[in-house]
C-alpha cells in the first residue's frame, strides 16, 4: 500500500514533452528545396493540467514552431509538426 498523497506523488514526477518537426528550405539543411528534421524538448512539466488543456498545448506547439522558424530563419509555414514515427523513419540513416 502506498502512503503518499496524490500531491506528494505529483511533486516527485518530472514529465518531459518532445515535439518533432519537419523544416523546409533552412540553410542548415542545404537551403531551398531541401527538408530537414529537428525536435524540441519541453522538460520539467509539473502542471499536468497544462497537457490536458487543448488550447494551452496548441500554444506550446505553436511557440515551438515559431521559435524553430526564427532560429533557422525560415517562415513558420516551413515548419510542420510531425509524429515521432515519421521523424524516426526520416532520420534513421542520420545516426550512422
Domain-embedded: residue 33: yes
For the record, the C-alpha cell of 52 comes out as 490536458
- Give the residue with greater pLDDT, 32 vs 45: 32
pTM assigned to the model: 0.82
What range defines the domain where residue 73 resides?
A: 6-95
* CA-based nearest residue to 91, from 29, 6, 31: 29
DSSP bridge pairs for 39: 20
Q: How many Å apart are CA 78 and CA 63, to the nearest integer?
A: 14
Domain-embedded: residue 70: yes
Counted domains in the chain: 1
Q: What is the pLDDT, as a whole number, of residue 9?
A: 80
Domain-embedded: residue 57: yes
Domain-embedded: residue 1: no
Tell me the pLDDT of the chain averaged across its residues. 89
Domain-embedded: residue 76: yes
Q: What is the pLDDT, as a whole number, of residue 1?
A: 59
CB of 81 closer than 8 Å to CB of 27 = no
- Give the residue with greater pLDDT, 54 vs 11: 54
Domain-embedded: residue 62: yes
DSSP bridge pairs for 24: 35
> Within 10 Å of residue 51's Cβ, how many Cβ atoms?
14
Amino acid at each position: 500500500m502506498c502512503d503518499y498523497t496524490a500531491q506528494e506523488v505529483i511533486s516527485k514526477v518530472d514529465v518531459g514533452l518532445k515535439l518533432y518537426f519537419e523544416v523546409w528550405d533552412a540553410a542548415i539543411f542545404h537551403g531551398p528545396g531541401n527538408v530537414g528534421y529537428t525536435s524540441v524538448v519541453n522538460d520539467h512539466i509539473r502542471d499536468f493540467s497544462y497537457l490536458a488543456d487543448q488550447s494551452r498545448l496548441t500554444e506550446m506547439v505553436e511557440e515551438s514552431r515559431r521559435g524553430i522558424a526564427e532560429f533557422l530563419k525560415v517562415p513558420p509555414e516551413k515548419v510542420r509538426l510531425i509524429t515521432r514515427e515519421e521523424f524516426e523513419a526520416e532520420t534513421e540513416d542520420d545516426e550512422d
